[in-house]
Homo-oligomer: A and B are copies of this chain.
Amino acid sequence: MADTDELVNRVMGKLLDASNSGSKPATKNVGKTDLTEFVGTAPVGDTIGMVIANVDSELSKNLHLQSEFRSLGILSARTGAGPQIMAVDEAVKATNTEVVSVQMPRDTKGGAGHGSLIIVGGNDVSDVRRAIEVALADVPNKFGDVYNSAAGHLELQYTARASEACHFAFGAPVGKAYGLIAGAPAGIGVVMGDTALKAANVDVLSFASPAYGTSYSNEGVLHISGDSGAVRQAVIAAREVGLKLLGTLGEEPKNDFPSYI
C-alpha cells in the first residue's frame, strides 16, 4: 500500500508538472462544494470528477457496468472523449481500479465530436478517488494534440503502452502501443487515416465514422496499434496533413495545451 501510494504520488506529481507547463491554470477557479462525492474539475471540456463510496445496489444494476463494484469513480465531460479516456488509461495503471463503463455522448457544445462518461470501479473509495484525481490532473496534457478551428477539429493520441481504458473503449491490445487519429469534418479523418497507414507499418484496429463506431459525431477516427515507433510516426504524419486540410476551411487550427506527441 505504501508502495502504491508512492507510485501514485510520483505519477501525480509528474502529471501536475506537465499540466502546469501549459498556458492555463490546472484547476478552474470554480465554486467549491463540501459534498463528499465531489473530487474536482479539469480546466478544459467542462470535465468533472466524482466518487460514490458505496453505490446503491438498484442503481448499480441499472448502470450497464461491465462488473459491479462497491465504490465508483466517475469522470464526465461535455467536450472530449479521447483525452479523458487516455487520462483514465493512465489512472487505472496507477491505481487499484477497473474501467467498468465508457460512454460517448454526441456533445462538444455545438462542436463536431463527443463528450464522455467514464466509470471506474474499486473495492475501496480511496482507490477510486485516487484514480479520478490522477485522471483529472492528466486531462489537460491529453488535450495537447487537440486542434480546434471554427470549422472543425483534429485529435491525436498516442501511448507506448495501452491499458484498460483504451482496451475497453477502442479495442486496443493491452501493453502495446496505441494511436488515435481523428479529423472533423469526418472526411478529413479519412485522408489523415490514409496518410498514417502509408507513413508507417501499423495494425488497423478500426475506422470510426459518423455511422460506424461513433455516436453520430462528425469525425473520421483511425485506431491503430503496433510497434511504438511506428505508431508514433503514423500519428505525426497524420497530424501534419490534418492541419493543412482543416486550415483550408478557415483559420489555422490551434491547440490550447502543449502538444505531447
Contact = CB atoms under 8 A, between A and B. Distances in A.
Interface of A: 28, 30-33, 35, 37-38, 41, 46, 48, 50, 52, 55-56, 58-59, 61-64, 72, 74-78, 103-107, 109-112, 115, 117, 119, 151-152, 184-188, 190-191, 193-194, 197-198, 204, 206-207, 209-212, 214-220, 222, 241, 244-245, 247-252
A196 to B, nearest CB: 9
A250 to B, nearest CB: 6
A38 B112 contact: no
A207 B76 contact: no
Tell which of A28, A33, A185, A186 has the most Cβ of chain B within 10 Å.
A185
Nearest to A241: B35
A7 to B, nearest CB: 26
A117 B31 contact: no
A58 B32 CA distance: 50
A210 B117 contact: yes
A185 B245 contact: no
A151 B43 CA distance: 12
